[in-house]
Amino acid sequence: MIAYYSDNNIISINLISNTNNSIEEALEQMPICNSQDRSRQRILLSIFHAWTHFAYTHNIQYWIAYGTLVGYVQRRGLLPHDSDTDILMLAQDTQQLVPFSDVNFSSIYEIKVHPQWSFVGYANRSYFPLQGIHFIAPNARFIHRKLRYHVDIWPIYDYHPDQLKNTTNTMKTLTEYSRYYTWISSPIEWTFPLKPCTFSGIKVWCPAMPEKLVTMLYGIEAVNKTDTTCVNGTWV
């Protein structure tokens, strides 16, 4: 198994400076479209903050991804219209989450790990509604028990799922889902070493080259502007 590290091989971030005040300061700069927006934004950031604390406590390596990474690149924080947050983990590291899916580690939050997380590709997985597994592409979710908002925990592979693991590859790459749920690969140096960054007042881990990854996934225009706007009290 290959291990990857952050700058200076330090996995954890000192979370002492993470406070509700810093989140509230970030919220003051965040647009709203209707009267429900601020509450949703605050809840999402509180859940994400709880995830970072959980990851720090248990030495779990992750980094922000997808729409959450777009938000970081565009505005150093949550996109105003987002309904969840997204992180990536090396697929094999999902094993670290499994013990927490079977215990009440928190009265507020729970982790749901897909029973088939080791199956590569969502087409090879099933839903398990009786177990609260209403997803197939992410490997796991960090969920607020009462409000049901969540952090999606997505897999990324240090090999291409459509190729044999022992296939010789002159350039090291990482492979994840594209926005269309096909496989897309990027040079490993776009992600590692991870770097600490601040997302809406929360200290998190970012990939080494966020702009390159956003451009690959969503196009160059996504680096600077969102395609979602507020129209008559609704994000469209």
Residue 185 placed within a domain: yes
Number of domains in the chain: 1
> How many distinct helices (H) and strands (E) make up the chain?
4, 11
Residue 25 has which token pair? 């300061």
Q: Are 78 and 97 in contact (CB under 8 A)?
A: no
Q: Which range marks the domain in which residue 195 is found?
A: 7-161+169-235
pLDDT level of residue 88 (50, 70, 90 thresholds): very high
Distance (Å, rounded) from C-alpha 203 to C-alpha 22?
Answer: 10
- Find the mean pLDDT for residues 55-63: 97
pLDDT level of residue 74 (50, 70, 90 thresholds): very high
Q: Hunting for tokens 């309904």 — which residue is that?
A: 83
Residue 28 placed within a domain: yes
Q: Are 63 and 206 in contact (CB under 8 A)?
A: yes
Q: Are 118 and 97 in contact (CB under 8 A)?
A: no
Distance (Å, rounded) from C-alpha 61 to C-alpha 81?
Answer: 27
* Domain containing residue 185: CATH number: 3.30.460
- For 206-225, the pLDDT digits (tens) are 999 999 999 999 999 999 99
The pLDDT value given to residue 5: 58
% of the chain residues with pLDDT over 90: 86
Q: Is the pLDDT of residue 10 over 60?
A: no
Torsion of CA 213, 116, 121, 59, to 10 degrees: 20
Residue 2 placed within a domain: no
Distance (Å, rounded) from C-alpha 78 to C-alpha 141?
Answer: 18
Count Cα atoms within 13 angstroms, Cβ side, for 59: 4
227 or 99, which is more confident? 99
Phi, psi of 27 (to 5 degrees): -65, -30
Distance (Å, rounded) from C-alpha 162 to C-alpha 94?
Answer: 20
Q: Is the pTM of this model over 0.85?
A: yes
Residue 46 placed within a domain: yes
Residue 1 placed within a domain: no
Residue 39 placed within a domain: yes
- For 93-113, the pLDDT digits (tens) are 999 999 999 899 999 999 999
